């Protein structure tokens, strides 16, 4: 409704501008013809009448053209307004989808908390039953907080407000591994001091989301390679999981989308979407390739800091102990 009203207003505005522009142009042409014509140089009689007839024809032609424009201009203005509003309509539609999906994601943990609280109030319980219900509700609350954090990052576009901050990728990865359910499954190969621009917290969020996804969909070890190349700090995360089809790869970065619907309760579906948001905001690039039944590879590139550029001469491949 908002888009349609805005389109009508733009149509009226475009039509008014077109008509006023042509009217001023027509008036200018006619005024120039009148003032430029030398009546004194025309002999009395047929010359003057011929000139008057020519001016009358010009007036008629300009009036007819303006009348035709009055008919055509609204249609062309409507089309132009539609083209102008297309990005706005797309943004509003994406915003509505985001709100709808966010509401759906938040409803699950809220329902779990409500259900546990209602359950323990139905009748007196033992201490162990109360503890079990509270533990379940607390787990749902943690899930709710995690989803809320994801939503804030997604809505904010992952923007990094500290332009001068830098982070060493090896240190960031070491901190992130401690948060994983199975840190020993992550095998890392890295170069010395690959320092990139960005807040440590946002870069760590990128690494954490990539590793959580890799561990979730693969029972084998997850291979992580960090290196510096061509002015970029590159992180490659490779798993040997079930992989994805081409159609699934195209949707991998969509908000709230998950390749395996049976795992819908294990995350918000915002992981890779947030990765792309943060990497893009840092001036980097992210790419995903996958082969069904072989595995998935995600490649993230972030701009190197000045200090990392200086260290490139002494870079050597080393195996990080796991």
- Residues forming a β-bridge with 290: 296
Q: What is the pTM of this model?
A: 0.55
- Residue 143 to residues 68, 109, 131, 254, 279, Cα–Cα distance (Å): 63, 7, 18, 20, 24
Task: Return averaged pLDDT per consecutive 10 residues of the chain, 322 residues in all.
Answer: 84 91 88 70 59 80 88 90 85 72 71 84 86 85 74 61 76 86 86 83 86 85 90 91 85 70 52 82 89 90 75 48 42
For the four alpha carbons of 11, 13, 14 and 20, in that order, the dihedral sign comes to positive
What per-residue confidence (pLDDT) applies to 307? 62
What per-residue confidence (pLDDT) applies to 224? 93
CATH 3.30.565.10 fits 166-319, yes or no: yes
Residue 97 token pair: 């989808």
Domains of the chain, residue spans: 2-94, 102-156, 166-319
What per-residue confidence (pLDDT) applies to 43? 53
Distance of CA 82 to the CA centre of its chain: 22
CATH of domain 102-156: 1.10.287.130
What per-residue confidence (pLDDT) applies to 264? 46
């Amino acid at each position: 409704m908002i888009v349609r009203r805005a389109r009508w207003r733009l149509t009226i505005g475009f039509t008014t501008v077109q008509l006023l522009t042509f009217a001023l142009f027509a008036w200018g042409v006619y005024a120039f013809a009148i003032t430029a014509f030398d009546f004194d140089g025309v002999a009395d009689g047929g010359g003057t009448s011929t000139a008057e007839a020519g001016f009358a024809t010009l007036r008629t032609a300009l009036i007819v053209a303006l009348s035709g424009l009055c008919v055509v201009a609204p249609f062309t203005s409507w089309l132009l307004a539609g083209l102008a509003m297309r990005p706005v309509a797309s943004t509003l539609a994406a915003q509505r989808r985001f709100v709808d999906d966010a509401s759906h994601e938040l409803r699950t943990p809220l329902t779990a908390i409500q259900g546990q609280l209602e359950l323990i109030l139905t009748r007196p319980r033992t201490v162990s039953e109360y503890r079990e219900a509270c533990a379940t509700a607390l787990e749902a609350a943690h899930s709710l907080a995690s989803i809320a954090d994801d939503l804030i990052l997604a809505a904010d576009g992952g923007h990094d407000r500290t332009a001068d901050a830098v982070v060493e990728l090896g240190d960031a990865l070491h901190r992130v591994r401690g948060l994983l359910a199975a840190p020993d499954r992550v095998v890392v190969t890295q170069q010395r001091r690959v320092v990139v621009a960005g807040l440590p917290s946002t870069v760590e969020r990128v690494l954490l989301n990539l590793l959580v996804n890799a561990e979730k969909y693969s029972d084998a070890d997850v291979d992580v390679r960090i290196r510096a190349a061509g002015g970029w700090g590159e992180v490659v995360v490779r798993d040997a999981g079930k992989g994805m089809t081409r159609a699934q790869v195209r949707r991998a970065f969509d908000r709230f989308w998950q390749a395996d619907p049976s795992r819908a309760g294990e995350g918000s579906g915002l992981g890779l979407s947030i990765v792309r948001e943060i990497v893009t905001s840092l001036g980097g690039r992210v790419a995903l390739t996958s082969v069904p039944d072989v595995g998935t590879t995600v490649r993230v590139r972030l701009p190197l800091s000045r200090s990392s550029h200086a260290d490139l001469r002494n870079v050597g491949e080393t195996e990080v102990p796991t």
